[in-house]
Structure 1
Amino acid sequence: MSAYAVIGAVAGIVIILAIITSVYCMCSRQTKAQADILPTETFEAYENPIWKKTEVEHRESLESLANIAQSMKVYNFLELQYATDDFSPGSQVKGTVFRGKMNGDLIAIKKMNGDVSKEISSLDKINHFNLIRVLGVCFNEGHWFLIYEFASNGPLSDWIFSSNTNQKFLSWTQRMQIVLDVARGLNYIHSYNIPPYVYKDLKSSSILLDSEFRAKISNFRPARFAERQRGQTTSEEIYLSPEYREKGQLSPKLDVYAFGMLLLEVLTGKKIANLYERLNGNLSEVFVGVFDEMKGKDQLRCLMDPSLKENYPSESAMSIARLIEYCLNRDPSSRPDMDEIVRSLSKVLNMSMTWETSL
């Protein structure tokens, strides 16, 4: 064989090896990129392919999931199926919320609509005893699932609007602890985040009670104080402040107004919708005569939740009535801040506990 033939053969082999090496490197980089986007330990990417939408949408969701996984637990969908007996009707709490058990602890699992990755990132930065804690997240076949701590006593609305037949009842002191818990949660999102968050969906059905009847604010989807345009809200119109309904103005005073509504429901045991209809929309009339020095206590007695059977300290109840009036002021600048409300309710709770121990 001539020298030229040998050189040509060697050159051919070198070129072939170079091509194979390039292909191998490209495949390796592609595999590594996929691994960086979604670790197989946290999601069954291969057994459950999710490329059913556009590739761009899913790539963005998976990249979001990878970012979230750095600070929040990412659950495997099989774990959620096992925890809820494959999302059986018996585990359904309401709508898209299911109760499950994982490692011996009860959890709540909620199937979310749309891409909520940005909201999840916000929720991960917020941590307070009186806000329902997000335990983790799952992404499966284009759907997001949030995993929350479970509040075993359910929504506040089940307790303050309940009939005597279901044996659900909250004492005066329990009610004061609950409203103080809610006020502390709202004060946290208003005062300890820059810029402050606005809850915008406060009502008795969104307040959950744990096994110790401590209140947890649920369905928290942060709205920024900086927002000035009216957006969608799940709250009923009557819970919303006048400046938001009429002008779309969003500020923490919107939550203060809704908190006044919540206090009124806790005090009277009646739904705001019913009071609103009875008074032709003028809720301020509910306190007519209540602050009269001569007949005020009698008027207050007519206003109070009859299930309390007058087992409450009149002075504390009067303080709550005045606080409600301040919170429902039409002028937002005349409403108290949540920090002031927390201080007022702390005094009322202390007075109530002293009263209760003296019985």
Structure 2
Amino acid sequence: MDFLPFLSLFLISCSSLIHAQQQYAKKTTTDCGTADNSTSVLGYSCNGLNRTCQSYLTFRSLPGYNTVSSISHLLGADPSQLSKLNSVPDNTTFELDQLVLVPVTCSCSGDYYQSNASYVVANGDGAFVIANNTFQALSTCQALLAQNGLNVSSILDAGSTITVPLRCACPTKNQIDMGVSYLLSYLVAQGEFVSAISAMFGVDTGRTLEANGLSEQDSTIYFFTTLLVPLQNPPSQTIAPPPPLASSPPPPPSTPSSNNNSSKTWVYVVVGVLGGAAAILATGGIVFFMFFRKNKRKTDPIIISAREKPNGKKLEEESKYFLDSISSIAQSLKVYTFEELQSATDNFSPSCWIKGSVYRGTINGDFAAIKKMDGDVSKEISLLNKINHFNLIRLSGVCFHDGNWYLVYEYAVNGPLSDWIYHNNGDQRFLNWTQRIQIALDVATGLNYLHSYTSPPCVHKDVQSSNVLLDSDLRARIANFGLARSTDVEGLALTRHIVGTKGYMAPEYLENGFISPKLDVYAFGVLILEILTGKEVAVLYEGGVNEHLSEILTAVLHEEDGKENLSDFMDPSLQGNYPAELAIFVARLVDSCITKDPSGRPSMDEIVQCLSRTMTTSLNWELSNSISGYPSFTQSF
């Protein structure tokens, strides 16, 4: 009987230790269809001493949410408290990607702690986009769906208001006994480690590991997640986060019970300071090399930003440095003066306007497309400068003026494909069957070059009819590489910044942010569907829900009466002038491209081979003006 008191004491002790931590979510936050109860994917457990407490979040400012008022409104915080915590005036506009501290009241809701924010759903928003893009992983798609009584296949109606449960927690009794007064939910950036984050806030690494259910042996963290940082005092903006570390993290200190905790904290602070100083020196060296050693040729990536617009002489000097830098790196590009572009476009006359910020210009007797851009254009310039393919639009020159970039492209006289395949405005332009197959083959060939012949592989990310331009021979050029993204050597990447055109974006990208060449394959399938039918994707499937898009192919792909249904499926302007069996074959190819499972989609190389054979047979059909005698293609994907 004397054993029972000791057992009770042991259980209470163990319970106290267990309640001193929350389970880190790991990678489960990116899989919206999984709610792993062994992690904190649905929220941090309501195991604290208090059911309500003062808590803190971090948020990195981004366009649309970069002021005290907009960030406070998004996260349901008090703007006066937010400005006070960050030591800024109430009307402050933060620099983009600046770390902002956000005070919130954290409360138990059922089994989990959370701070609720209200959000009005925008067009194209899904649970993953809202949780990981807009709210930067301060919520999870699983928690958002559960909070609003939805499931992973639910459609969020634009204009509706939903509740977003933000990830926060209150200290447990055990943590309070150890001096912890607050818990901060820190947004992990790519390349960051527990030790560096802890040092940033002057916290012992062992305490941070314990607060998240991690250990010295299992201390790996991922971006797309939050890390709880235990604090004795409210956080302060007097400390700035160090740049992400590119090398392995320093060895974590021993358990928090060690007598050397305070000294080890100072070690990590010193490491962080030294690392920051080294980064500053390295950055200064790079700037010096690029802008003051202009005579030396090199092939490093171009880093260009036009966010700040200095005035007068300073602007002219910066413009000259930028342009000289590009001239030495991208030797094939011509650097134009702004006066040359004004002359080419009749001072950017409305008569030269094409669309958006694009103008037609005449340079040395030849037409050119001139696009005005601001912001960071380095990715597009770097990519277009290193690729050379007939089916990819060519960048011929650049200009920098008054904080804006002007990119000069080859001119495609017949404009975007969308002007030829949509007939909403009574446009009389017409493409016959063979021309449509040739355009499809051109686009597939260009994408195959990006996927298979650039290193690392490149994903266009915005394949759509308005980004396919037609030259004088109606041959296709892929344009607009502003969203293009390089992947790793295996062709994979992950993002929480979901951007693209509604209807063309693949399910795995919308739901989980996964980027691979199969993302372009999906968009290509949608594009070919538009080419076959002459209808926009929004018309083809009202609402634009991608995973159901293939339903419109069902009648055509039905083996018994597929040909009979073609007349209702194909573009009426073709008036039946197409080989029926080939049309069904291409429809099957489309169906394989837009399957929900990326692994089930063909590669662009396979698509090129199929369309090459289809093109050859189509030419034979066109010459004979008869569908008899051409081979039957039965290859499946």
For the aligned pair, the TM-score class normalised by the smaller chain equals 0.7 to 0.9
The alpha carbon displacement at 1:36 in A equals: 4.5
Pairing of 1:101-180 with structure 2 (within 5 A):
101-162=362-423, 165-180=426-441
User: Aligned pair in 2 of structure 1 residues 118, 280: CA closer, same or farther (>3 Å)?
Assistant: closer
Pairing of 1:206-285 with structure 2 (within 5 A):
206-221=467-482, 222-226=484-488, 227-233=493-499, 235-277=500-542, 282-285=548-551
Give the alignment's TM-score, normalised by structure 2: 0.47
**Larger CA deviation: 94-103 vs 136-145:** 136-145
1:347 has 2:613 as partner? yes
Opposite residue 619 of structure 2, the aligned amino acid is: M
The alpha carbon displacement at 1:195 in A equals: 1.4
1:92 has 2:353 as partner? yes
Q: Is the 8 A contact 1:131 1:217 kept in 2?
A: yes
2:391 and 2:364 map into 1 onto residues whose CA distance is 24
User: Aligned pair in 2 of structure 1 residues 143, 50: CA closer, same or farther (>3 Å)?
Assistant: farther
SS of corresponding position for 2:454: coil
The alpha carbon displacement at 1:345 in A equals: 0.4
Identity of aligned residues (%): 55
**CA RMSD of superposed structures (Å):** 2.3
Match for 1:195 among 456, 463, 479? Answer: 456
Q: Is the 8 A contact 2:294 2:328 kept in 1?
A: no
1:150 and 1:51 map into 2 onto residues whose CA distance is 34
1:311 has 2:577 as partner? yes
Q: Is the 8 A contact 1:209 1:216 kept in 2?
A: yes
The alpha carbon displacement at 1:230 in A equals: 3.3
Match for 1:323 among 579, 584, 589? Answer: 589
Opposite residue 236 of structure 1, the aligned amino acid is: T
1:183 has 2:444 as partner? yes
Q: Deviations over 1:149-172 (max 9, x none)?
A: 000111101110025843200000
2:330 and 2:556 map into 1 onto residues whose CA distance is 54
Q: Is the 8 A contact 1:65 1:117 kept in 2?
A: no
The alpha carbon displacement at 1:297 in A equals: 0.4
Match for 1:301 among 555, 567, 571? Answer: 567
Opposite residue 147 of structure 1, the aligned amino acid is: V
Q: Which residue of 2 aligns with 1:11?
A: none
Runs of at least 5 residues in structure 2 that lack an aligned partner in the other structure: 1-290, 296-310, 626-637
Opposite residue 123 of structure 1, the aligned amino acid is: L
SS of corresponding position for 1:132: coil
Q: Is the 8 A contact 1:182 1:215 kept in 2?
A: yes
Count of aligned positions: 314
Higher RCO structure, 1 or 2 (CA under 8 Å, sep 6+): 1
Opposite residue 253 of structure 1, the aligned amino acid is: K
SS of corresponding position for 1:293: coil
Q: Is the 8 A contact 1:265 1:271 kept in 2?
A: yes
Q: Deviations over 1:244-298 (max 9, x none)?
A: 0000000000000000000100011111011121797622211223233321101
SS of corresponding position for 1:109: strand
Q: Is the 8 A contact 1:156 1:204 kept in 2?
A: yes
Q: Is the 8 A contact 2:538 2:544 kept in 1?
A: no
Q: Deviations over 1:38-74 (max 9, x none)?
A: xxxxxxxxxx955249x8x768635633434533211
The alpha carbon displacement at 1:334 in A equals: 0.7
Q: Which runs of at least 4 in structure 1 moved beyond 6 Å after TM superposition? A: none
1:50 and 1:72 map into 2 onto residues whose CA distance is 25
Runs of at least 5 residues in structure 1 that lack an aligned partner in the other structure: 1-32, 38-47
The alpha carbon displacement at 1:112 in A equals: 1.2
Q: Is the 8 A contact 1:115 1:144 kept in 2?
A: no
Q: Which residue of 1 aligns with 2:314?
A: 51
Q: Which residue of 2 aligns with 1:26?
A: none
Opposite residue 517 of structure 2, the aligned amino acid is: P
Q: Deviations over 1:121-152 (max 9, x none)?
A: 22100111001110111112222111000001
SS of corresponding position for 1:296: coil
Q: Is the 8 A contact 1:76 1:138 kept in 2?
A: yes
1:321 and 1:288 map into 2 onto residues whose CA distance is 10
SS of corresponding position for 2:314: coil
Opposite residue 485 of structure 2, the aligned amino acid is: A
SS of corresponding position for 2:514: coil
User: Aligned pair in 2 of structure 1 residues 205, 269: CA closer, same or farther (>3 Å)?
Assistant: same
Q: Which residue of 2 aligns with 1:41?
A: none
1:108 and 1:190 map into 2 onto residues whose CA distance is 26
Q: Which residue of 1 aligns with 2:50?
A: none
Opposite residue 429 of structure 2, the aligned amino acid is: K
User: Aligned pair in 2 of structure 1 residues 212, 50: CA closer, same or farther (>3 Å)?
Assistant: farther
Q: Is the 8 A contact 1:131 1:218 kept in 2?
A: yes
Q: Is the 8 A contact 2:450 2:459 kept in 1?
A: yes
1:279 and 1:302 map into 2 onto residues whose CA distance is 20
The alpha carbon displacement at 1:77 in A equals: 1.6
Q: Is the 8 A contact 1:64 1:117 kept in 2?
A: no
SS of corresponding position for 1:87: coil
Q: Which residue of 1 aligns with 2:623?
A: 357
